[in-house]
Chain A
Amino acid sequence: MIQKKGPVVLIDIDVDEVFKKALSMSRVDILDEIKKSGLKGRGGAGFPTETKWNLAGTASDDKKYVVCNADEGEPGTFKDRVLLSDYTDDLLAGMTIAGYVIGSTQGIIYLRCEYIYLYKHINNKIEERRKKNLLGKNILGKDGFNFDIYIQPGAGAYVCGEETALIESLEGHRGEPRNRPPYPTVVGYLGKPTIINNVETFITAMRIIDKGAEWFTKYGTDKSTGTKLFSISGDCRAPGIYELPMGITVKELLATVGGEDAKAVQVGGASGSCITRNEFNLTLAYEDISTGGSIIIFGEKRNMLDIAINFMEFFVEESCGQCTPCRYGTETLLEGLYMLKNKKCSIKYLKELLQLGETMQTASKCGLGQSAPNAFISILKNFKHEILCS
């Protein structure tokens, strides 16, 4: 449920007009505008969008792909679901423009299986756009610009939100992340240059093309421009989706959503970290705490150990099992949490586990493994006393 519409993403724009405008611009101009806007990936990793598009754009392959990562699996995130159902046209137009910029003819929406009920709706929208020649051959009479989009459903694997795992999945393999480099912008889907962006990134890019980089950079901070959608859940009065400027403090956010009494906040979902009251002055921005927008609020009465267990169970289930640190590390950490729960864990072993967590953060193959111990480490560091005393 949308609780607060901001000035950038959740506004109504005339999609067709913006689309026409974009196609009348040169590729370089669009890239330039995006570059000036400082737009970074809204999935959470914060890679500069312009750089990604530019890399794929300069590759000379005959075939390139634009992939929309609609595999929103991060616990506590639900903004993409709303965007996919309410801002479908914006997304499809955004992908088409990205295709125009990088010289691609094919867009793919990787839709998570849990959102399969949105398939028909999105497909209808694609069909409508085809009829209006907003997709297809020589789009809007622009000679030689062909672009089409299809939806490929996932089959239930959180790790497929990782871009190289997503490509593996698209290619019909187990969703196991690839080694990087090479990056998908060079060797992506079917070995071709591929850009993979979050739903919100494509939609935000549309707004930047409409209103300009200068307008966009009015919001947010120097390094984290614009606004961002936050998915708020947990112990607060008004959970839901909020569009807020980047760089607001956790404290401000809590005040906005009615979660002032929070004991702790999990920023960035299961793969993010858990911060406590004395860190509530930190800002939600790429330079401080980077997030895909998941904010889970924990009230005074919550048992933090149970929360850590829930997160760790999540990772044990969702680890792809390919690399050693993640495959067995997640399981070992979870076992340690059960030991704590049963009051059977020595401080010595706990220290070993925290060290193991650090190894997982640096030695795992992909982002999932690298972030799997975040919640464990932050909760145990911040709530050691509570956990050992309870």
Chain B
Amino acid sequence: MLEAEKDQLKNEILHLAGAYNNHRSGLLPVLLHIQQKYRYISRYAMQEIADIFRIHPVEVYGVVSFYSFLSTEKKGKFIIYLCQTISCDMAGKRAVARQLENELNIKFGETTPDGLFTLKYTNCLGACDKGPALLVNEDLYTKVTPEGVFDIIQSYRAKFGAHVTMEI
């Protein structure tokens, strides 16, 4: 990481934490913000965050590792969360999962080499009456069919091609 990037990240964390008076209750919102913007929480970021909240870096690491939407490894620009819980499972999750893997040529838990997509299972998305459900960043898709998987992925490829940056 370049020094300038480090400074930028540090200032960003300072600014975000400031909204919580550097109180630890602001830790999760800050982590979520960094995760969404940088797609991961780097070693450097964790230490800076720890400094600002006056806690230990290892505590930040403990928190990051606890929550499934936070990660220390860089994720794709679009994270596809496929619901694996019972209702979606009964509604045909497995076929959708297979098709996702086939379309992206990666396994669940992996990121495409171009850094565009990450495939992840998630627990209940709260769309059990309309399963299978999946979430791509902040977009919820329900009653997804294996055929539909292709269109969903294409739409994000197109977005990326048009340089539409993700708004969080």
Contact = CB atoms under 8 A, between A and B. Distances in A.
Interface residues of A, number: 52
Given A171-B25, A318-B123, A76 B69 contact: no
A113 B25 contact: no
B124 A1 contact: no
Contact of A174 (B29, B62, B89): B62
Interface stretch (A9-17, A54-62, A307-315, A325-333): A307-315
Contacts of B116: none
Interface in A65-100: 72-78, 80-81
12 contacts: A73-B124, A76-B124, A117-B138, A155-B28, A157-B66, A157-B68, A174-B66, A175-B67, A233-B131, A234-B128, A239-B130, A298-B90
Nearest to B69: A156
A80 B67 contact: no
B138 A116 contact: yes
A69 B66 CA distance: 19
B152 interface: no
Q: Which 5 A-B residue pairs are closest in the complex by CB-CB distance?
A: A172-B27, A155-B67, A156-B68, A233-B128, A239-B129
A154 B87 CA distance: 23
Contacts of A298: 90
A153 B28 contact: yes
B90 A155 contact: no
Contacts, number: 124
B128 A239 contact: yes
A69 to B, nearest CB: 14
Interface string A275-315: 00000000000000000001010100010000100110110
B129 A232 contact: yes
Given A154-B67, A234-B90, A313-B84, 4 more contacts: A77-B126, A117-B138, A169-B28, A232-B129
B63 interface: yes
A190 interface: yes
A76 B128 contact: yes
B126 A81 contact: yes
A197 interface: no
A78 B126 contact: yes
> Interface size bucket, B side?
35 or more
A79 to B, nearest CB: 9
B90 A302 contact: yes
A115 interface: yes
A310 B62 contact: no
B119 interface: no
Contacts of A75: 85-87, 123-124, 128
Most buried by B among A74, A80, A172: A172
A154 B27 CA distance: 11
Given A1-B130, A158-B123, A76 B32 contact: no
Contacts of A337: none
B129 A172 contact: no
Given A153-B29, A174-B62, A317 B123 contact: yes
Nearest to B20: A172
Interface in A165-188: 169-175
Nearest to A80: B126
Contact of B129 (A78, A117, A190): A78
Interface in B51-79: 53, 62-63, 66-70
A157 B28 CA distance: 12
Contacts of B86: 75-76, 234, 266, 270, 296, 307, 310-311, 314
Most buried by A among B29, B32, B90, B125: B90
A155 B70 contact: yes
A152 interface: yes
